[in-house]
Every structure is written in structure tokens, then in C-alpha cells.
Structure 1
Amino acid sequence: MKYFWLFLCFIISSTFFGQTKIKGQVIDIDNAVPIAFASVTYNKNTITADWEGKFSVEVNDTKLPIKINYKGYYEKAVYVSDSKTVMIIKLVTDLNDKKAEIYSEIKVNNIIKKVIENKKNNDPEKALASFQYKNYEYLQVTANPDSISSKIDTIYKKRLLGKTVIKLDSVNYKFKKVVEKHHLYQTEKVNLIQHSNKKYKETVLATRMAGFETPLYEYLGLKLVSYSAYENPFKILEIPVQNPISNYGRKLYSYKLIDTVSIQGRKAFRVYFQPKKLNSNKLRGLLYIDTETFAIAKAFYRIYGVVNINATYTFNYRKNEQIWFPKKRDFKVLKGNNYEDLKILGGTIKFSSSLDNVESKNATDQAYLHIESTPFDIEINQPITITKPRVKIEVPESSLNKPDAYWRTFAKDTIDKRKLRTYTTIDSLSLSEKIEHKVFLGRKIFNGYFPINIIDLDLRSIVKFNNFEGFRVGIGGITNDKLSENYRVAFYGAYGLKDREFKYGITPSYLLHKETETWVGASYSDDIYEIAQTNFVTDSRRFKIYDPRPINISTFYNNKLGLAYVESKMLAKTSSYFGVSHNQIQPLFDYTFVNDAKSYTDYTITAVQLAFQWNPFSNYMQTPIGKIEYEKRHPKFTLQLTQTLPNLLGNDFVFSKIDFKTYYELPYLSGQKSSLLLQTGIAFGDVPITHLYSIVPNNLNRDAILKRITFAGKNSFETMYFNEFFSNKYASLQLKHTFNKIRFGYKINPELTIVTRMAIGSNNKDNQHLGISYKTMEDGFFESGVEFNKIFKGFGLVTFYRYGPNQLAKFEDNIAIKVSYFLDLGF
């Protein structure tokens, strides 16, 4: 009998040790997106993978295959090797299956429909009269040291003559040592979030950023993911996507009822959703829906693509209010299938993919960004006073210097030793490398200035070139806060080497009201300007290493300009300008303007100008350094009105101008973007050619294509010749779509943009413009082209073709080839 038990133990132990636990994940071979709930069959037993395509199987016979099935894909059979316990199984789409979409069951469709119908009862922002809470948010950029190899790799490189060079690569080893000691980066903030009567306000109570005495205010407004699971559009990395619990979202997503579970003693449906187009990289995830109230009790969101994103929302059920209120928000960003670095907080951070649990050759690919957001001190349906409701985020001076004792109250039960070391390490690194100064300097350069003591040097004034002046050399600047916060003086001086003339200008101004950034100023200048161009005075200034269009322009006018003005941001989401100017104009080309039987070769224009830029969908932050547009939404609108003043200071002509433009940009999670620019203007009265419209032409009137190659402008008509068209009213539309970079290798990675531009205009006034001939655009002007930008070192190549009623007789005359250049300042 004892031999029987011995034999039985031998059989059992043989069976036990013969089994191997295999972990796997099922993904799409084309886009590496996990395939949720795929069927996994082994030895006639079938299980279902989870919503991230992961499964676990006990294998006791390696000769038997594991079969994977999912509708729309070919079946795949894989065999397990003794040495491999983790498998990534890639399914191939069945091209014979013509169904591009899958559809939801009737029952789960009704559940989602009830979720949408009951939003008004379940969304705290709609269901509650008021609420406020404090929110602690901790952001870290870090990596798991265990995921990084500590080996020092050997690299073999071949030289030109065939000799092999052996080098030691210790990057992974050093990176592992760094992340074992401290996180790569971290920042914390505490906000007071208030909702009352459909008004929203966020006040920063405390903030600190590793390496910065003064925080990057742009980060304080950074919204990487929506606060509310009900928000539509739902925001991921500040890019809007359709929420699956919205009416339009139901058309884009399919839903599957998995089971019913218990959360905090309440039953909840567990519903999986994914895009109807299975190969789409859109949002997918799990929703836990209260079976009684149809509220969201828990939610998981995933996006796989250029970056891989994991977002988790947890809620706490409050019996008194019968509502699920936010408890915690967890957000993680990892590298996806992109080859480019993802830039956040002005720096470059590399993220890793969570699909393959294998060591990366590049250690920094194991880094990830993680945000935890936790509400506390919650008050519901209590009297709330919201101050300055027009400002969505307020950052008072008192929030910038909280002591360490304040932050210790937010420490977790388990002390993160790496977190404690990060601030001291990053702060010392910041001091040694002057990171904060570099950010300050970067902001200045971005706006076209370089600070030198009490003066910000104007980088645009140093050197320019055009056909009239030749090389124009000069110097300019503006006083900064080191001299005074309440007044400033801008100035410049320049000399044209070809026309041998000096140009200069000076503009003193005074700050009337700091909070609304209201300035009053005066200006005098003696300079030249391009004819027939519209400059919107409320446009923000951005740095360009050069301005390509004026290089080829020959028709300028001299203007001795005296100006008094007021500019302000007093109106919500609006920049406004009011100015009165006196212009003594002398055209610098052969031109005579005949008006009321009188000829003018030079003239005086006294005018008043009123301008507004309105960004109704953007959100603003009030900081100690002024108001910041932290959430730039589109469309944006600009309106500018100009009226000459009869019989004042020698004004010669009476005319009015109305100019308008709107810009809309739509970014996509894929990294692509589309944009639209609509601009129009109309002039009434007696308008000289210097103040008409020529709609930004940028082509030389030369016979050969190669002789017309110049630099491309940003929004100029590349096939329209200089001085070809003039109008007293016009409308133009520009459409662009920019694709992701194309990787050719050898650091040649162009950015492809397709562009279409069109314009229509007329000039039906009887004034005579002598000395210059031109056409009008009653029949319209059309051009389309392709831009290959940033091919190498910022340089690119663009080509456009002109077509339609104003197409030229010779085919080659309708083609324009240009060189483009983009300067990437890194912020």
C-alpha cells in the first residue's frame, strides 16, 4: 500500500512540475493596440482575455497549441517553448471580412442611453447647486529601476576604411543609478476648486516645482486629462476626443456588457467600450455604471498610439446627496509607437511602451509621466463666493513659498525616499546648470528679445535685408522690470546700406493698471513700410530669425509717424487697442494718386484706429506677473477699424477700413493637425495704393522657375507676383493639414503639409493710381501646394501650383518652388 501512495505522489509531482504558467497579451499586428476579450483556447479549454488583451494559461504539454480567435481577425495558433513564459501574440486582420465596424447589443445600448439621459442627475457640476474642494496633485517623471539593465554595453562601429572601433556604452548603467536615487522630475500643487451657479474657479493655494524658485505658470494651467468623466469633449493631453457617454460618442463607439460587480455595496454594470473601427487608435476602456442611478462609479481609459495613455477615475458614493463624487484621478503617459520625443514642461521626456515587458536598449525609454490627483475637504451645497469668476485660475503670491512643514501633511503612509531626494537633487542641478534662468531667457527669446541688464535687446532689429534697403543693420530694445515695472521705453535705430538712409523710432509708455495690463503710450518713428499690407496691432509678437517676404520687395513708402495709444486686457478674454496717428507719407517708387482732379505724390493721413482680439474659447490665468492665456482654444477673432479724421492736422483723404480675421486650429492625438485662416477687409472712400490690399503675395516676376526660388512665407500666396493685384475689398481663405513626420533615415524626417489658398477681391473706386499697373480679383485666385518642412536642420522645400480664372498662359509660370525654414527654440 505504501508503494501505491509513493507512486501516486510521483504522478502528482510530475504533473505539477510539468505545468508551466504562460502569461500573454493579444495585440493588433498593425498598430500594437490590445485586442480586448479575445478567445484563448488550450487543450479544449477556452478562456477570455481581459480588456487589455492579457491572459494566463497553465500549459502541461508544449506540443499542443494555444489558439487565439477574435472576430475580424485570422485565427492564430502558437506553441509554447520551455524557456518562454511571456508571449505577445499579434493577430492579422481578416481582409475577407468587409465589416469595418462592430455593433453593440441592445441591452448595453440602453444602459449607455440611460447614462446619457441621467447626466443632469449624476454629474456633480449639473446635479449640485454648489460644491468646493481642495485638490492635491502630484506629478512625477520617473522610471522603475528594475526595468533597466545595469550592464555596460559594448558597441561596435565601422570606420570608413573598414576598421572596427569598440566603445563602451554606460548610459543605461548611469541612468539606472540616477533613478535608484531620485525621480527624474516632480512637482506638486494644491488647488481650491469651486463650482456655483454654473461658474467655475480654481485658486492655487500652494505650488512647488523641482528646480524652480518661481514656478512655470504655464504648468499650473496644464490640463493633461479632464477633471470630470462626464466632460464632453473629453480631454487627453489637452486634445479633445468624444466622450463615450455622449450622444455623438454612441455613434463612434461599440459597447459590451461584461458582468455585474459590487462597488461600495452597490451593484454596477461593467461595460467595455472601444471604437467601432477596430484599427482606430481612439479612446477605449471600462465603465462601472451604477445599476440604480446609471452614474459612473469607476472608469478606466486607455489610448494606444503615438503615446500610450492610462487614466483611472475612482468615485466615492455619498448617501446624503445620492451622488458619486470624485475620489481620485490617476494618469500615466508612456511612449507609444512614435519615434519622436514627447515634450512637456518645456523639456524633452522619453516614455516607454507597456505592451512588451522586455528591457529597452535605450534606458530612457523606460521613463514615464505619472499624475495623482486627490480631492479633500469636500463641501457640498454650502454657500460659496467666487471672486473674479472671469479668471478661471488665480495664482496668488502667497501660494509660491509654502514651508516644508506644509507639504509634509500630504506625505503618503509609505514614505517615498526617492521623492524626498528629488527636490534637493533637482534644485542643486538647477543652480549648477541655471535651468530657471534658461527658461526665463527662453521666454524672452520666444518674444524676440535678449535681456542685457535693464534693457531687452530687440533681436529683430540687428540685421534685415530687402531689395530697397539692401542689408539693414541696426540696434533696438526695450527697458525691462529691472529699471521699472510701471514704465518702459522702446527704441530702435537702423541704417540701409543700399538706400543710405537712417531710420529710427522711440516709444515711451506707462502702466495705468497692473491687473488689466492697461498701458498708455506715445511714439514717433521715421521708417519705411511695405505698401498695401494690413498689420493687426493686437497680434502677439513672436520671434523669427528672419522675415522671408520683404527680401524680394521693392515697393515701400516712407512714413513719419506720430502716435498716441492705449492698450488693455480689461475686457474678458480680449486684447484691445485704441490709437490716434499722424502719418506723413512719401511713396518710394514712381506713383501719383489722382483724387478729385488733384494729383498727390506725397500726402498726410490722420487717423484713429480701434482694434480687438477676442479669444472666447480660451481660458486665462491671473498670476503675479500678469494674465496668461494658459488654455489656447480656437477659433480666435480679430477686428480692426480705421477711420481718417477730416480737416485735422492736414489730413488729405477721407476713408474708412474694416479688417477682420479668424483662425482655427484642430490638433489630433495622432500628432497631426488641421488649420483654417479666414481674412477679409473692405475700404470705403478715397484710398491711396499704400493703404489698399495686396493680400500678401510672395513671388518674383521672372521667366524661369529656378530664378523665382526664394524663401516661403508662413501665410503668403506663393504663386502671386508682387504688385500683381490690388483691391479695396477682399476675402481670403487658407486651409492646411499637417501630417506626422516621414522617417527616411539619416536624420531626414520631413513634416508634410498640404495647403490650399483662395482669394477674391475687387477695386471699383474711380481713383486713378498712376505709375503702377495692376489687376483685380473679381474671378478669384486659387493655389494649392505641398510643403516638405524641416527636412534637415529646419530647412524644407515647398511647391505650389496656380489654377483657376487667373491661371497664367504658360504652365511653368503657374509653378512656384520655395525654400522653407523653421527655427525650433525648444519651447
Structure 2
Amino acid sequence: MKQFLILGLLLLSASVFSQTKISGLIKDTSGEPIAFANVIFKGSQEGTISDENGRFYLESAKTFPTVVFSFIGYTTKEVELSQRITYKMEVVLEEAASALDEVVIFTGKTSKKNNPAIDILRKIWENRRENGVKKFKQYQYDKYEKLEFDLNSIDSAFMQSKIFNGMEFIFDMTDTSNITGKTYLPIFLNEAYYKVYGDNVLNTEKEDLIGNKNSGFDNNQALIAFIKDLYSEYDVYDNYLKFFDKAFTSPLSRTGIDVYNYVLQDSAFRDNKWCYNIIYYPRRKNELTFKGDFWVNDTTWAIKEINLQASKSANLNWVRDVYIEQKFDVLNDSIFLITRDYFMSDFSLRKKEKAKGIYGKRTTLYNNYVFDVPKDKKFYSEQVDPYQYEIYNRPDEFWDERRLEKLSKDEKGIYKMLDTLRTVPRFNTLYNLTATLASGYYLIDHFDAGPIYSIFGYNEAEGVRIRLGGRTFFSQNDLWRLEGFGAYGFKDNKFKYGLSGKWLLDRRSRLTVFGGNRRDVEQTGASLTNSNDVLGRNLASSTLFSVGTNDRLSNINLSTVGFDIEPWKNFVVRVTGSYRTLRSATETFSIDYKVMDDGVFTGEIASEVHQPEIEVGLFYTPGKKTSGFGVERTIINDGSYSTFYVGYGYGMKDILGGDFEYRRLQAYYSRPWNIGGLGRLFSTAEIGKTFDPVPLSLLSPIPGNQTYFTIYNTFTQLDYYEFVSDTYASLYLQHDFGGRIFSRIPIIRKWNLREIVGFRAVYGTISQDNIYLNASNIVYQAPEDIYWEWSVGVGNIFKVFRLDFNFRGNYLEEPEARKFGITGSFGFSF
């Protein structure tokens, strides 16, 4: 979701207020660029550091006549500025005579011994937990947050493009970034004001939204929540800072001395506190690191100010630049509390400096801290109506009183400019195109047609398949929604359809009723944990190529009705009643079973299953973030939270013509693990048991994968129905190192490839009663000797492709066992 929104916005992809601006390149006498050199206006604290390519940009609201360039092992150089704006400077630094033979100094590596900066860093480690709101039992404060998106690298050719005919007035709002020096055009602005309460004894926190205002996207809470999650909360004292689902090593990390070079640059008073200034920069390229500096107090060893800019060579897609700035205030001469947090990222399809891109900015300010005022535990857990009209429609007076930082002249003009822009037909066309690419649906008068990505498909039963569908949509907070589709297969010449409806009865508890019916072709047994979602993902094979013939498909007629409720945040109770009819969809596949009467075979063979079922499911997703307040909500941090599910199903016989009585218990646990600088591990464990005899179509086949695509939580080297069980336990592990290994190999370092390893195992049994009941053309075999397989993969190929090499671990003697296979997948990730 995040990646598609960014990529969609990129498809759409000067006023000067500062008094002094400079940019250029720093190099040595041989013409090689000098990375991480210091650039500072003489007689000031305003400065920056050159990037990996020796390039720099610096601006100030003041006028400075001289700029100073310096770096370890080189002679400091002062350059007089003949004009306030000086771009494309070329600065040559000469090696210091005393350092010509000191290789360590020449390469910019700093010593870990006898380095005062390292000594200060160790003091920070010793005192890191003694600062901030964690110092108190309870805390509360006001928080003001400003989010902004801007098109950047605006030039005259871009402004004169025909695409902007009728919208030329928007370029009156262009401005220049004081960090990158690029001209940008605001396209989105959102302001929010919160009251935050926390209790360190109860280990809980509550954030009440008091006011929200935005322009450019019509109160699009999904986009707002997406941007907020993109810049999720972080603590610079942590060893790793998570952005874009990547773990950057903090310069304050205990492992920092192995990742960064540190230099004690200066000492001075900062807001009447004596502080040391330390500059840091990476020891190696292609790692998730920063460059920048920080000021640290000399008695509390707490950070007063810190600046972080992501390394240009970091293994990060679609992000050209990341800049962070935090400031802290002092309480009672000892406790430092954060007062300002600024985060800016530069998204672009290409990392070239002149390529068009999008700035994403978040400014957060904190004020009115109050401590040790306890509140009842119920205060933190009580449910409130998540949507209140007045919160999103506060008058201007509200914002004039509560903004902790006044809007600039340009920011004030954004609201008017963007509101005017929405009246321009050409802009609405571009806006709708972007929204369609991001969501997969096209809006037609309160009806979303789509998803467009599933119009065409293919499988052995239907041949070429065409599917058209849509859903009602009046706003993102609709209390009810109808959704449906129609499909036609050109091989079986049959029409399929699906229809479902949902109605949110109570927004506070999220009590929702739902129901629907679907007649379709399905790949049953493609997942261990059953689903009664009528319009869930169609698991029939939709690839033109497969490993062997995949004809093991079923015709399904599924009807459901039920309700769910969320008594606590992210804890859902769901009760579903379903009725399904199953039969084979191809002539070469059979789900036949023996008809029994009180455990005695009648001699009759049945080819169709009619089965009503009642299921109770409990879902717990701690950490899940959503947007919207209607019957459907958008998940913002998909793949970044844990999921726990336990369900009990009861199949009824002789009720509505039911064929079998059974009990089924299933559980599922999935969790992503951020393992510091070693990457990210995804783990899934499933267990289940069906307690009574049932035919093939109601058992639990171990999910195989006969496609050439990598599909998470399936066994790549298994065919469909190769193993069948009524009792199972499985484990799925996949670890993405994020390029940590490849970044150490010079030959392939520049390709920014990423390493993935996987391990999958499953244990299962099948009862003799189930084996006796079987009359299909599938021979039952359960993996009583734990079946396992492993894989190694290379990701981020051309930034969008991943290749996996899969190996079967055992059961190698089985006829036609696939010992080795190659799968791939496409995807957009940071």
C-alpha cells in the first residue's frame, strides 16, 4: 500500500527567501571527491557535511561573506563569497603536510582509541535511559504535527509542460528547500493537534486527536495515516531507527563505533548549557547509516540537538534523501525533553539529483509537559467514537491558538491554492488516475470499478478468464458497502459471480453484520487455515505457466452470514454461519468419497459435498494501524504487526442437507521481527485438527505451489494435494538481510541486491477413518516424518524483482518429487 501510493504520486511528478545560498563539489588535488567534509559559514554554528560524492548544499537566513571547508588530513580552506547565491562551486582541498604518510587519516577513518568523541559517546550510553518522559511515572503533553508533500526539482521546462495547461497559477507557490537546494511545489498539507497521556507504571499511552485540518486530498485519512506511519515514532537513543521498514544504525548506538567515524568538532553554550559538538559519518558505503552531527550536554550527557542525513549509498529504494532534525529542552537542569522533531524524505524513481521527485515532510512540536498526574486504568482502555465531525472541521481561531509553530507565508497559501486546484478538471483527471493506480479501483459516481489488476486470469478449468467487479463508495467512512463481481471462463463456458454486503451497526464497538454468496472455481487446500470470506482472494491458479498440470480445482458455491465485534482495540470476535457445495471442476480431478451410514459403507460413492458450518474466530493484531471510521478500514502498516488467530468450527449433518458432522480447531500466529542491523525475519506457525471423519474437500491438504511465483506460507516443492492431513503443525521462516552481506562485496555492492533465506517445515497425520472414507483419485499421505525445504534468494533485482532457489529437504524418493525449483516475484519495497 505504501509503496504504490508513493509510486502513484511520483507519476505526477522560486521563490528565494534566504540571504546566503551555496552549493557545489569538494575534491582533492587529484580530482577525487571528498566525502563527509565540513562546510560551515565562518563565525557561525550553521554548517553541513558533503555527501558520499563530495557534493554539498547550505543556506542561511543571514548574510555571510565567507565559508570554511575542512576535513581530517586536509588543509582548511576559506572561500570569500562575491554574491549571496553561489551555486556549482568547485572547492579543492590540499593534503596537510603532516598527514601525507598517515593512511588512516587520509581515508577519513577515525581511531577508536584515544578519541575524545568516543569517550563522550560512552558517557551517552551510560546515561541514555535517564532522560525524557521515561523519567516519570506518568506524563502528558500537547503535540502539534504538520505533514506535507511537495513535488521537487521544479524547473522552467517542467513548468511549461502541457500537462499543466490551465494550472499555471500553482507555480506561484514554489519555494526552495533549505536542505537540498531544490525548488519544490506543495501538493498536500495536513495539521493535527493531540493531547498525549502516558503511564510508565502501566506501560501504556493514549493519544487523543483534538483537531485535524488538511487540504489537497479531501480529508483523505488513508493518505494521512500512511504518511504518519511512514515516519513512525523513533527514539534516537535506540540502537536502530526504523524507517521504511528498514533498520538504520543510530549514531548513538552501542555498535556505532563499528559503523561510524566520530570527530569532536567544537564545544559551546547551547541555550545556556555547555555542550560538545560531535560530527559522525559512515565507515563503509551501502549500509543503512547516517551522516551529521549532534550537541551533547557535558554533565547529563543528554542530546541537546541532533541532525541525521541518510547515506546516499544506503540500500534503499525510491528514496533519494532522508533528513532528520531533533531539538531538546532542559527541565530542572537535568532532564532533556524533546521539543521539535523534523523529518524529511525525498522520494524519486531515480537517484539522479535532477530527477523529479516528491518531498515528504513531518514536523512535530511538543509543549505543556505535565508529570506524575495518575489516571485510572480505564482511562487508557475505554473505547470512544473514533470519528467526530467537529474534530475535522475546527475553525481558524482554533488553529491560531494551538499552532506551536506559525505557518509560513507559503504554507498559508497552500490551502487556498490546493482548494482552487481541485476545481480544475485536468487536475481531477490526474488525481483520479493516481488514485486508481494506488487502490486498483476506478471511481464512477459512488461506485468503484475493479480491482483492475484481476480482470484477466487463467486456470486449467476455465482457460482464459475475464472478471469485472466493483463496490459502492460514497466516502471512506461509509457505514455500509456492497461488493460484487462477474466472471466468465472461455474453456468451461460458465458464468461465475460473487456478491457480499457489510453494515457497521456501531462505530465504537465496530459491531458489523455481513453476508454474501459466491459461485466460482477455487484452489481448495492452498492454505492451511480455512477462510469463509466470500469475496476473499481467489486461490485458483492464475498463471499461464505452471510446474506440471494443475487440474486439481473445485467448483464452489459458498454462502455466508455473520457478525463481528471489536470489544478492545485490535481484538475481534467473529461468528460466521456458512453453507458450501463442492464438486470437482475438471474431469481429471476427483473429490469422491464413500457414503457411510452409522460408520458402515453403503456401497454408494458421492462426488459432491453439501456442508453447513458454524465458526467462531478470535483475531488479535497488536500494533496494527488502520485509517477510516467506516465499515471498511485501510491497513496502514501491512506486514509490520503480529497476527494471532484461533478458530473453532462445527460442521452440521442433516441440517440444510449437511453431509458431515465434525469439529475443527485451528490456530495461526504470524510475526515480523526486526533484528537490528541483520535485517528482518518473518515467522508463521500454524496448528490444526479436524476431530471427525470428513472427505478430501474438508480436510487440510498441505499447501503446495505449482506456480513459478514465490508465494509466502506455501511449500514451493510440493504439488497440490501431495500431502493430506487432518492434524498438522507447520513453521515458515523467511529472513531478509537487506543487503548486509552483498554490501561487503565490492563487485556487486553498487547493484544494491538483498539476500533472502527461507526455511519451511510441516508435520501432519491422517486417521484410518479418513483414509477409509476416501474414494477420490488422490492417495492420502501425511508428512509424519516432518517434511521440510529451504531456499536462498536474491532480492531487489532492478528494484522490483526477487529470485528464489528452492530445495526439497526430504521425501526425495517419492515419484516425480521436485528436488529443486526456481520461483520469482515482483513487488515494490523500500
What's the TM-score, normalizing by structure 2? Answer: 0.69
Post-superposition CA distance 1:192-239 (Å, at most 9, x none): 241331343334444444423324444243452646544564344564
For 2:306, the equivalent position in structure 1 comes to: 299
- 2:787 is aligned with what amino acid? G
* Cα distance, 1:571 vs structure 2: 3.0
Partner of 1:13: none
Cα 1:446–1:730, aligned 2, differ >3 Å: closer, same or farther? farther
Residue of structure 2 aligned with 1:115, choices 118, 124, 127 = 124
Question: Comparing 84-93 with 430-439, which one deviates more in the overlay?
Answer: 84-93
SS in 2 for 1:324: strand
Alignment counterpart, residue 660 of structure 2, candidates 616, 628, 652: 652
**Unpaired stretches in structure 2, ≥5 consecutive residues:** 1-21, 40-46, 57-67, 83-87, 161-167, 176-182, 315-319, 744-750
Report the alpha carbon displacement of residue 189 of structure 1 after superposing the two structures with TM.
1.0
CA RMSD of aligned residues (A): 5.7
Higher relative contact order (CA 8 A, sep 6+): 2
What is the CA-CA distance between 1:117 and the residue it aligns to? 4.2
State the partner residue of 1:34: 35
Residue of 568, 571, 576 corresponding to 1:574: 571
Q: Structure 1 residues 402 and 463, CA, compared in 2 at 3 Å: closer, same or farther?
A: same
What CA deviation, in whole Å up to 9, does each residue of 1:440-495 have, x standing for no partner? Answer: 78667766654444544454886543212334456554444489944444445545
1:399 aligns with 2:391: yes
Structure 1 residue 610 displacement after superposition: 2.9
2:719 match:
721
Structure 1 contact 471–496 (Cα < 8 Å) conserved: yes
> Which of 131, 140, 143 is residue 131 of structure 1 equivalent to?
140
| 1:282 alignment counterpart | 289
Equivalent residue, structure 2, for 1:531: 524
For residues 381 and 718 of structure 1, the distance between their equivalents in structure 2, rounded to whole angstroms, comes to 55
Deviation at 1:689, TM superposition (A): 1.7
- In the alignment, which of 649, 653, 677 is matched to residue 643 of structure 1? 649
Q: Given the alignment, which residue of 534, 542, 545 partners 1:548?
A: 542
Cα distance in structure 2, aligned partners of 1:370 and 1:434:
26
Between the aligned partners of 1:102 and 1:812, the Cα distance in structure 2 is 56
Matched, 1:468 2:458: no
1:192: which partner in 2? 194
Q: Is 1:517 aligned with 2:526?
A: no
Distance 1:523 1:409, change over 3 A: closer
Task: Say if 1:143 and 1:368, in contact at 8 Å, map to a contact too.
Answer: yes
Change (3 A) 1:213 1:571: same
Distance 2:494 2:686 in 1: 35
**1:328/1:100 CA distance change after superposition, 3 Å:** closer
Question: Could you say which residue in structure 2 is the equivalent of 1:356?
Answer: none
Structure 1 residues 26, 486: closer, same or farther in 2, change over 3 A? same
Which residue of 2 is the match for residue 763 of structure 1?
A: 765
Asked whether the 8 Å contact 2:479–2:630 carries over to 1, the reply is no
Query: Which sits farther off after the overlay, 94-103 or 675-684?
Result: 94-103
SS at match of 1:698: coil
Q: Given the superposition, is the C-alpha separation of residues 213 and 496 from structure 1 closer, same or farther in structure 2, using an over 3 Å criterion? A: closer
Counterpart in the other structure of 1:169: none
Task: Give the distance between the partners of 1:524 and 1:540, measured in 2 at CA.
Answer: 6
Amino acid at match of 2:326: Y
CA distance 1:514–1:612, shift in 2 (3 Å): same
Letter matched to residue 431 of structure 1: T
Counterpart-to-counterpart distance in 2, 1:789 and 1:259 = 41
Alignment of 1:152-231 (within 5 A): 179=174, 183-198=185-200, 199-220=204-225, 221-222=228-229, 224=231, 226=233, 228-230=235-237
Kept in 2, the 8 Å contact 1:448–1:543? The answer is: no
Q: Which has the larger radius of gyration?
A: 1
Residue of structure 2 in register with 1:170 after alignment: none
- Say which is worse superposed, 88-97 or 481-490, in terms of deviation: 88-97
Change (3 A) 1:33 1:629: farther
Partner of 1:326: 338
Identity among equivalent pairs (%) = 15
| Alignment check: 8 A CA contact 2:28 2:34 kept | yes
Check whether the contact 1:203–1:395 (CA below 8 A) recurs between aligned residues: no
CA contact (8 A) 1:105 1:255 kept: no
Which residue is 1:690 aligned to?
697
Q: Which moved more, 1:551-560 or 1:271-280?
A: 271-280
Q: Deviations over 1:96-142 (max 9, x none)?
A: 99999952548655644443444454212433632312425363637
Residues 653 and 661 in structure 2, CA contact (< 8 A), matched pair in contact too? no
Query: Deviation at 1:261?
Result: 2.0
Shift of 1:565: 1.6
What SS does the corresponding residue of 2:515 show, helix, strand or coil?
strand
Report how far residue 515 of structure 1 moved.
3.0
Q: Which amino acid aligns with 2:133?
A: P
CA gap 1:106/1:390 in 2 versus in 1, 3 angstroms: farther
Name 1:316's counterpart in structure 2: 329
- Cα distance in 2, alignment partners of residues 55 and 563 from structure 1: 62
Contact 1:69/1:76 (8 A) holds in 2: yes
User: Are residue 260 (structure 1) and residue 267 (structure 2) matched?
Assistant: yes
Question: CA separation in 2, counterparts of 1:536 and 1:609?
Answer: 10
Per the normalisation by structure 1, the TM-score is 0.69
- Once residues 29 and 615 of structure 2 are traced to their aligned partners in structure 1, the CA distance between those partners, rounded to angstroms, is 59
Select which of 80, 85, 91 maps to 1:87: 91
Taking structure 1 as reference, are residues 401 and 67 closer, same or farther at Cα in structure 2, changes over 3 Å only? Answer: closer
Aligned-pair distance for 1:653? 4.2
Contact 1:675 1:736 in 2 (8 A): yes
| Aligned twin of 1:9 | none
The whole-number CA distance in structure 1 between the counterparts of 2:639 and 2:544 is 31
Using a 3 Å threshold, how does the CA distance of structure 1 residues 658 and 424 change in structure 2: closer, same or farther?
same
Task: Note the C-alpha offset of 1:313.
Answer: 1.9
> For residues 575-595 of structure 1, what are the alpha-carbon distances to aligned partners after superposition, in whole Å with 9 as ceiling and x for unaligned?
442213233443453344357
Cα distance, 1:569–1:24 mapped onto 2, change above 3 Å:
same
Residue by residue over 1:765-799, the C-alpha shift from the partner in whole angstroms, topping out at 9 and shown as x without a partner, is: 2123332235544252425365678869x8x6956
How many residues were matched structurally?
722
Alignment of structure 1 residues 329-728 onto 2, 5 Å = 329-334=341-346, 340-341=349-350, 352=353, 360=354, 364=356, 369-379=360-370, 396-404=388-396, 416-433=408-425, 449-453=441-445, 455-457=447-449, 459=451, 464-473=457-466, 476-481=469-474, 485-534=478-527, 537=531, 548=542, 553-588=550-585, 589-594=589-594, 596-598=599-601, 600-601=605-606, 602-620=608-626, 623=629, 629-632=635-638, 634-645=640-651, 647=653, 649=655, 650-664=658-672, 674=680, 676-685=682-691, 686-699=693-706, 713=711, 716-728=714-726
Counterpart Cα distance in 1 of 2:69 and 2:216? 53
Shift of 1:736: 5.4
User: Helix, strand or coil for the counterpart of 1:468?
Assistant: coil
The residue type equivalent to 2:561 in the other structure is A
> 1:745 aligns to what?
none
Query: Equivalents in 2 of 1:531, 1:579: separation in Å?
Result: 19
Alpha carbons 2:704, 2:715 under 8 Å: kept: yes
Change (3 A) 1:291 1:536: farther
CA contact (8 A) 1:711 1:818 kept: yes
Q: Deviations over 1:161-210 (max 9, x none)?
A: xxxxxxxxxxxx99998736983335141322413313433344444444
C-alpha change, 1:239 and 1:493, in structure 2 (3 Å) is closer
**Cα shift readout 1:59-101 (whole Å, capped 9, x = no counterpart):** xxxxxxx999858xxx899999x99963266999969999999
Identify if the C-alpha distance between structure 1 residues 789 and 230 changes in structure 2 by more than 3 Å, giving closer, same or farther. closer
The answer to whether the 8 Å contact 1:448/1:542 transfers is no
Distance between the aligned counterparts of 2:685 and 2:826, measured in 1?
A: 24
